[in-house]
Amino acid sequence: MEESTVRVRNGMFDIKLRRAGAGEPLLFLHGAGGLCGGEPFLAALSRHFTVYAPAHPGFETSTGIDHIDDSIDMVVYYNDFLDALHLETVHVIGHSLGGMIGAELAALSPHRVRKLVLANALGLWLDDHPIADFFAMTPEQLALALWYNPQTDVAQAMMALPQDGNAQLEAYLLRMQHLATAGKFLWPIPDKGLKKRIHRIHASTLVLWGQADGLAPVLYAHAFQQRIPDARVTIMPRCGHMPMYEDPEGFVSAVAEFLHS
């Protein structure tokens, strides 16, 4: 994917953007772990759409997180980001933290979102089925929560640290940076008011969930469906919290079929 920097709000934000493909615009909003840079599922989606995959402010080299205090600020920012790209409307895929942001965008700026895909999204809270506190997990506990099978090559590659000492330190600091930014929106619990606004989502919505999600149990898929008018649900077997990595072909097939329908 082609990488560039997008200046937003007169330089208040400098945003790292990955872009590829042709066709209708598709905005991918990543989760708390950020992007790796070579996601096969984004490359596959770019055969159907023009894919825009920005790093949120505070992730990777994207700046401006100090100007964002909550999810409402993030929605205002993403309106400015889309304006900077001269995109009036887009399809939106949001994963995990990005799912919460995508749902808020669709609720508060419904004119910007053509269709919405929520993949293992955060943002709701069920008292009887709490979302796991991944900020307090050990790496081993987190691996079991994220992946259907933590021993697969893709899971091992994404969790591995570089062997070189300097690169390992940089990777560790980047992870801490991402967790600190995510904590601004997800800690102590990911209930920041979305439940008060979610009824305002009018975009056609697909709720896509990994069956074995150990962070946000699959019951949350149905919680989103119950609160969004006419939302449909697809449950992906043999996947955890990271279905686009564990089954990229199945993920892309489900998304493309929904967005083209």
Q: Which domain holds residue 85?
A: 2-260
Taking residues 119-140, what's their average pLDDT? Answer: 94
List Cα–Cα distances, 11 to 62, 69, 135, 212, in angstroms: 11, 18, 31, 42
3-state helix, strand, coil in the chain (%, to 5): 45, 20, 40
Taking residues 152-162, what's their average pLDDT? Answer: 87
The predicted pLDDT at position 110 comes to 97
Nearest by Cα to 259 from 32, 17, 23, 41: 23
Taking residues 20-47, what's their average pLDDT? Answer: 95
Q: Which CATH number covers residue 232?
A: 3.40.50.1820
- pTM value is 0.96
Taking residues 117-134, what's their average pLDDT? Answer: 95
User: Residues 53-106: pLDDT tens digits?
Assistant: 999 999 999 999 999 999 999 999 999 999 999 999 999 999 999 999 999 999
94: β partners: 29, 118
* Pair of tokens at residue 100: 């919460």
Nearest by Cα to 34 from 95, 90, 84: 95
Average per-residue pLDDT for the chain: 95
Taking residues 117-121, what's their average pLDDT? Answer: 98
Which burial class, exposed, middle or buried, applies to 64 when counting CB atoms under 10 A from its CB (0-12, 13-18, 19+)? middle
The predicted pLDDT at position 175 comes to 87
Q: How many structural domains are present in the chain?
A: 1
